[in-house]
Amino acid sequence: MIDREAHFKALMLRGLDGDAAAWRVLLTDLGAHLRAWFGRQLFDGGADAEDLVQETLIAIHAKRATWDPARPFTGWAWAIARHKLIDHLRSRRRRPTRPIEEAESLWADHTVEDGATRADLGRCLSALPVRQRRLIEDVRLSGLSVAEAAERHGYSVTAAKVSLHRSLKTLNARFAGTDTAPGRVDHEDG
């Protein structure tokens, strides 16, 4: 089993010394843990998890000079992630319900299949504009109603239904090998 603290700390130290490859590996490995952790913490099933991952990684990059190498790296990184989560929840007037003692869950093991599935799904959905992608994530992955997702993203319910239909049709055409070109709308009723 890999000692995550030693792994991350070694990469951070090498990154601080100017090793760009180590820095990329650190952000990639850390991003995977953050993605899973944020997904478990969010009330909406993690629709905003990717945004929080990116915000946290940017903050870690921007504040890297404040980390004390004599202290654990994972505790420092987790504090930044937790603050990003709290800020996110406050902006939506929600409170975290999990105690600080659950910080260890940030570094929990996840199956390869979980990561591969999320990566495949992320690649498929990245073919869509962000607003459409988030609408699909909310309705199809997080279980929000079309009305809830429409309100959340500033659509009318009708516009959300149309956007969902067109987005799914575009994804189907792109990944199922159908003849319908993305962006083309078939008018069957006249």
Confidence of residue 112 (pLDDT cuts 50, 70, 90): very low
pTM of the model: 0.49
Average pLDDT of the residues in 84-107: 66
Confidence of residue 17 (pLDDT cuts 50, 70, 90): very high
Residue ranges per structural domain of the chain: 4-107, 112-176
Question: Residue 154 CB: number of other CB atoms within 10 A?
Answer: 9
Q: Which CATH class is domain 112-176?
A: mainly alpha
Give pLDDT tens digits for 92-102. Answer: 765 555 555 55
26: phi then psi, degrees, rounded to nearest 5: -60, -50
| Average pLDDT over all residues of the chain | 78
Confidence of residue 139 (pLDDT cuts 50, 70, 90): confident
CB contact set of 93 (below 8 Å; sequence gap of 6+) = none
Higher pLDDT, 149 or 46: 149
Question: Residue 106 CB: number of other CB atoms within 10 A?
Answer: 21
CA distances from 185 to 132, 139, 177 (A): 16, 22, 17
Task: Give the three-state DSSP class for 175.
Answer: helix
The yes or no reply on domain 4-107 and CATH 1.10.1740.10 is yes
